[in-house]
Amino acid sequence: MGETTVTTLEGREEAVPHPVADDTGVGFLHRLRAPRRPRLWFEILLIAVSYWTYSLIRNAVPEQKAEALRNADWIWKAEQHLGIAVEQSVNHAVNSVTWLIVGMNYYYATLHFVVTLGVLVWLYRGHPGRYAATRTVLFATTGVALVGYYLYPLAPPRLMNGGRFVDTVMVHQTWGSMASGDLKNMSNQYAAMPSMHIGWSLWCGLTIFALASVPWVRLLGLLYPTLTLVVIVATANHFWLDAVGGLLCLAFGYGVARAWYGSLPHAMPRVVHRPQPLVPTQA
């Protein structure tokens, strides 16, 4: 067993050892890493359980108000030192245009989820071979963000002591922000670093830019995280540096996917073909 018979030029038959594939160890890891067509029921369950777990852990992190406010003061002073502390000016300028700030409030509350889920569905239907790797980026990005929430509690600008920022949801009585109004007791108020609005929107934007075939759709992919950055600052929910934290989390997510799959998601095959059964050949 494990040998095959060949005929040499002299007509003699010799037994040549034939390696037997090992289905354990490396073979098992190879199968785990290989692109495969996602299963709808599993993906829906995975997303639901993962988001529930993420929300549970994020909101269970102690709301260390004093430390969060100290960190916010430090961030604000650091940005002033760097000459990028324009959040207050943006917040006040946009707040003076009612229709614009109300629109941004609803943007902040809804598109974060709607666009992300939309991109996941698009990947599932149009790029099944890249779906698992791209989803891994998103999950790893979100997972490492939880570490940031625990290690570095941070108050958003609208909750700073003496920051003179406008809480636009409270002022304009718009619906939807888990961090303001009647829903604020359901969410950790001091988990602003890193910004997952930026982490998720960048994930969406880069995925669309890398995989979409229509030029204007690719352009929209780049525009989405850019507009999200303006929105999180204008609504006083984040500092600029929170966005940097979100970017670093996304870089970590891509690193995890690259290490596991051996390739960046966009470079993987678009479609996973089922292996064809071997047909025995005639001798």
SS (H, E, C) the chain: CCEEEEECCCCCEEEEECCCCCCCCHHHHHHHHCCCCCCHHHHHHHHHHHHHHHHHHHHHCCCCHHHHHHHHHHHHHHHHHHCCCCHHHHHHHHHCCHHHHHHHHHHHHHHHHHHHHHHHHHHHHHCHHHHHHHHHHHHHHHHHHHHHHHHCCECCHHHCCCCCCCCHHHHHCCCCCCCCHHHHHHCCCCECCCCHHHHHHHHHHHHHHHHCCCHHHHHHHHHHHHHHHHHHHHCCCCCHHHHHHHHHHHHHHHHHHHHHHCCCHHHCCCCCCCCCCCCCCCC
Rounded to whole angstroms, the Cα distance separating 136 from 258 reads 10
Mean pLDDT of 57-64: 68
Point out the least confidently predicted range of 108-112, 198-202, 211-215, 279-283. 279-283
Span 221-237, pLDDT tens digits: 999 999 999 999 999 99
Average pLDDT for the chain: 82
Answer whether residue 68 shows pLDDT above 60: yes
Point out the least confidently predicted range of 94-108, 186-200, 210-224, 231-245. 186-200
pTM for this structure? 0.79
- Residue 269's pLDDT band (cuts 50, 70, 90): confident
CA angle 212, 215, 217 (to 5 degrees): 60
Rounded to whole angstroms, the Cα distance separating 152 from 237 reads 16
Give the pLDDT confidence score for residue 20 in this predicted structure. Answer: 42
Amino acid 238 reads H
Point out the least confidently predicted range of 161-165, 206-210, 213-217, 263-267. 161-165
Mean pLDDT of 114-130: 93
Strand partners, 205: none
